[in-house]
Structure 1
Amino acid sequence: MSRSDRLFKLLQALRTLPAPVTASQLARETGVSLRSIYRDVESLRAAGAEIGGERGYGYCLVEDGTLPPQKFSRIEIEAIALGLAEVRQMGDPELAAAAASALGKVAATLPSLSQQHLLHAISQVHHFEARPPVATDMQLIRTACWREQALAIRYRDRTQQVTEREIWPLAIVYLEGMLVVLARCCLRKDFRIFRAERMLSVRISGDSFRPQRAALLRNYLAKLAPSAGP
């Protein structure tokens, strides 16, 4: 690991782990020795990051000099905290981890008082049911959406019939207790909703449908709108 990558990883650990973070915790998180942690903390301080604490007590990131300060109102901070908490509750594991990382990055750009407002927001999210289990590689599906690449899938429908088809993934929708992919089905030549837990296998086929995703998704959502409830 290069020194710059190591410093970035250490900075990210300071942003996301509950403070104060001991040098031993940081060493486990970044995979380096305690001596390297002590040296790298001093390097970050020299670069402008204001890191409180010391050996034997723990460290906390007071101000992150690598990111510009952000100004949010108290209600905006509540909205950010609530939104990211919802993603952590409902998202697949990769997305949930990304929400936790994003919270740390946002907090690092705020003045001290706003950091406290964000990390101790009064708006909370709680779901009594656990996140729906999904064996499908959601990161691969996200990548296909971003790159506008077709997916080859094996899919089991509600009648237990298994088919192989190519789809153009347009969006991932997190419903209560269900994760679905909005797509254009090349087999049916129409829009379809695919439940993630029914996807038995998924791979990127290599075919591109760029730059049609935004227009197709807009048309699909317009088609769904009349059937939506009040």
Structure 2
Amino acid sequence: MAKTDRLFRLLHLIRGLTPPVTAARLAAAMEVSDRTIYRDIETLRAAGARIEGAAGLGYTMTEDPALPPQTFTQLEIEALVLGLSDVQARGDAPLAAAAADALTKITATLPERQQRQAVQAINLVHRFAQPAAPAIDITLLREASWAEEALEIRYRDNAGAVTNRRVHPLALAYLDNAVMLLGWCCLRRDFRQFKVTSILAVQRTGDSFRPHRVPLLRDYVARLRRGRNPAPPPRE
């Protein structure tokens, strides 16, 4: 791991772990020696990070120059905690981890009083049922949507028929009991919802459909608003 990446990782751990956090615990999480942790903490201090503590006592972040201060109302804090906790509860593993990291970073920017409000938030999330895990890596769908890149998918439809499709991915929709890929199906020449757990295989093509994603998504939303298609697009 490059030193810059290691320092960012160390900052994140000091922000997120219950203080004071010992060098041994940081070293175990970073998979480096205690001596490396001591050196890196001195480097962060020299760069302006206010990290209190010492070897054998543990460390606490008292001021983080990498993050600007934020001010939220208590209700806004509750909304942030609730929303990100829900993503942690129902998102795929990378998305859940990103939500946890985002909450840690946001909390670290708050004044001390508001940090306590975030830690002691009264709105909690618990989901008794989780959507079935997909057979494919949902990260591929997310990255292709960001990149506006066509996908080749192998899909089992509601009737059990398996087909190969080229899809222009537009968005992922998290419904109560399923995650759907919203996209333009080149085979059907129309919008479709593909249940992620019914996608048997997926491959990125490298073929861009930019700048068509924004117009496609805009047309899809406009169709729903006009009531021409009051129900969701057909599930394939």
TM-score by length of 2: 0.91
Deviations for 1:93-131, whole angstroms, at most 9, x for unmatched residues? 110000011111111211111112122211111111135
Give the structure 1 partner of residue 121 of structure 2: 121
Q: What is the root-mean-square deviation in Å for CA atoms of aligned residues?
A: 1.7
1:55-134 alignment runs, 5 A limit: 55-134=55-134
Paired AA for residue 87 in structure 1: V
Report if aligned partners of 2:108, 2:115 keep a CA contact under 8 Å in 1.
Answer: yes
Alignment gaps of 5+ in structure 1:
none
Give the structure 2 partner of residue 8 of structure 1: 8
Give the structure 2 partner of residue 183 of structure 1: 183
Report if aligned partners of 2:131, 2:179 keep a CA contact under 8 Å in 1.
Answer: no
TM-score by length of 1: 0.93
Seq. identity, %: 51
Task: State the Cα distance separating 1:197 from its structure 2 match.
Answer: 0.6
Alignment gaps of 5+ in structure 2:
none
Report if aligned partners of 2:167, 2:186 keep a CA contact under 8 Å in 1.
Answer: yes
Paired AA for residue 174 in structure 1: Y
Report if aligned partners of 1:132, 1:179 keep a CA contact under 8 Å in 2.
Answer: no
Structure 1 pair 120/178, CA: closer, same or farther in 2 (3 Å)? same
Report if aligned partners of 1:16, 1:103 keep a CA contact under 8 Å in 2.
Answer: no
Q: Distance between the aligned counterparts of 2:28 and 2:123, measured in 1?
A: 32
Structure 1 pair 206/215, CA: closer, same or farther in 2 (3 Å)? same
Q: Distance between the aligned counterparts of 1:170 and 1:42, measured in 2?
A: 46
Aligned length: 229
Give the structure 2 partner of residue 148 of structure 1: 148
Deviations for 1:179-211, whole angstroms, at most 9, x for unmatched residues? 110000000000000011111111111211101
Q: Distance between the aligned counterparts of 1:150 and 1:70, measured in 2?
A: 39
Give the structure 2 partner of residue 200 of structure 1: 200
Paired AA for residue 112 in structure 1: E
Deviations for 1:10-35, whole angstroms, at most 9, x for unmatched residues? 11222233333222221122121111
Paired AA for residue 61 in structure 1: M
Task: State the Cα distance separating 1:228 from its structure 2 match.
Answer: 5.6
Q: Distance between the aligned counterparts of 1:180 and 1:19, measured in 2?
A: 40
